[in-house]
Structure 1
């Protein structure tokens, strides 16, 4: 298993992507505990059980992690220090998979699009291909990845922990510059 170096802070025009901090825990609890956020992700349970946020924080800082986790920090634009989370999982053969969620009060402001574009531009794993999977009932999330240049690969299904069912998905890929 690969030992990760410290994550770099990635900046865009209005945001910074930075490693999670202990001070993010109350924001994580608030947003991850929101059914709208949980049901738009594959992995966040709803209702959020005790200890779930601490487990996310611990996993984000584990030396043997295969996924890096960035807080989407909105302070530069007058928003809270955590308005969402981006993850990048290193797969094999020079491939990665990006996933993200943003706080409901940050929806509609281009925050997810800007954050995804910043991570793609930084390409911290130097991936040859980056994948993204979005639920078909979340077209806004599909717009985020297509705005960043991802191309549709096909339909599939993924289990949503919060919903307790398989949900139809769209899979996208991108060959970074």
Structure 2
């Protein structure tokens, strides 16, 4: 076990990759991929351009014992792939619910990686949630297909603020009972 891994967050295995807690050595690849405007614009929280030390602060929060969100790296090393192909997270909500968030590096788009990661997280259900939710920007139908492929049901339209876009963006919200 590496000294900088989180002990209280499980590793979730799939056939092609593992979802594992973040570690400090992930900062370079996270920064590389999160700096890509195509990635940042499809998230609520990644600014573009990415400011200095933003990745370091994000990884530190993800590794903190008192964190409010569990973040996993999509690690392909078990299949001779890269250590980090994207991130997926669960944020605990009230009433036994959690919100799923994810992004995949553009080089791995359209490979089934996001669907496999979301499905693995749902099946593992590491927070013991009764329901999971997720929202995607309406101009990102590929992420909507990931959710419906993984059994999420459409709930309705809303909007969320995107830091990279500096604007409120229309979203579709989905849920899945577990």
Instruction: Report TM bin, short chain.
Output: over 0.9
Is the 8 Å Cα contact of residues 23 and 63 (structure 2) preserved in structure 1? no
Pair 1:36-2:38 in alignment: yes
Matched positions, count: 173
Query: What's the CA shift for 1:97?
Result: 0.2
| Partner Cα distance (1:140, 1:11) in 2 | 24
Query: What's the CA shift for 1:59?
Result: 0.5
Is the 8 Å Cα contact of residues 17 and 76 (structure 2) preserved in structure 1? yes
| Partner Cα distance (2:56, 2:46) in 1 | 13
Structure 1 length-normalised TM: 0.95
| Partner Cα distance (2:100, 2:79) in 1 | 24
Q: How does 1:92-111 map to 2 (within 5 A)?
A: 92-111=94-113
- Render the CA deviation track for 1:54-93: whole Å, top value 9, x for unaligned: 0110110111111000001122333211000001000011
Pair 1:16-2:12 in alignment: no
Q: Which runs of 5+ in 2 are unaligned?
A: 1-5
Q: How does 1:22-171 map to 2 (within 5 A)?
A: 22-171=24-173
Q: Which runs of 5+ in 1 are unaligned?
A: none
Structure 2 length-normalised TM: 0.95
Is the 8 Å Cα contact of residues 41 and 164 (structure 2) preserved in structure 1? yes
Runs of 4+ in structure 1 over 4 Å off: none
Query: What's the CA shift for 1:23?
Result: 1.5
